[in-house]
C-alpha cells in the first residue's frame, strides 16, 4: 500500500522470510473450519479477534 502526496510517500510493506509463516496460518484456519458449522466466516473469526 502506498499513500503519496506531492514530494512524499508513505509505504506499508510486508515481507515473509519463510513459507513456514503461511503454513502456520493455514493450519490454524484448518483447525478452525473443521469444527465450525456451515456458514460465512471472516479472518477475524478464524483468528479469534
pTM for this prediction: 0.57
Band (pLDDT 50/70/90 cuts) for residue 41 is very high
Res 2: pLDDT? 72
**42 assigned to some structural domain:** yes
Eight-state DSSP code of residue 11: E
Number of domains in the chain: 1
Q: How far is CA 14 from the centre of its chain?
A: 11
**6 assigned to some structural domain:** no
What are the Cα distances from residue 32, in Å, to 12, 13, 18, 27, 40?
29, 28, 23, 9, 13
Checking if the pLDDT of 40 tops 80, the result is yes
Res 36: pLDDT? 92
Residues spanned by the domain of 28 = 19-49
pLDDT digits (tens, 9 = 90+) for 2-30: 788 888 988 888 899 999 989 998 999 99
Please report the sign of the dihedral spanned by the C-alpha atoms of residue 17, residue 20, residue 26, residue 31: negative
Res 20: pLDDT? 94
Instruction: Kindly state the cell numbers that stand for 44.
Output: 477475524
Amino acid at each position: 500500500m502506498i499513500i503519496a502526496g506531492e514530494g512524499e510517500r508513505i509505504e506499508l510493506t510486508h515481507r515473509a522470510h519463510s513459507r513456514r509463516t503461511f503454513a502456520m496460518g493455514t493450519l490454524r484456519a484448518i483447525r478452525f473450519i473443521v469444527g465450525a458449522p456451515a456458514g460465512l466466516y471472516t479472518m477475524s473469526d478464524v483468528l479469534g479477534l
